[in-house]
Amino acid sequence: MKAAQPILDFCREHGIVMASYGGQTPLIRVPDGPVSPILERIREVLENTIGSGVTAGQVLLKWIQQKGAVIVT
């Protein structure tokens, strides 16, 4: 994400809305990849906090949404 930050900043500054095509890639194409342990920890914290089930996919989608991107499924 660090590499994409200048692009996100530029878009935000100029009112450009980004779109996310493939936000589930870390789960589908690279299962058990470097993002998996992070997603699992976040998922567990959220489950414990809100008291109901949360999937890794929901964590990814929320992260994309919070970055201001439109999610295309």
What does the pLDDT look like over 1-42, one tens digit per residue? 577 789 888 998 999 998 888 877 777 777 788 888 988 999
pTM attached to this predicted model: 0.72
Max CA pair span of the chain: 39
How far apart are the C-alpha atoms of 8 and 47, rounded to whole Å?
A: 29
- Integer distance in angstroms from the first to the last C-alpha of the chain? 20
DSSP state of 14: T
Number of domains comprising the chain: 1
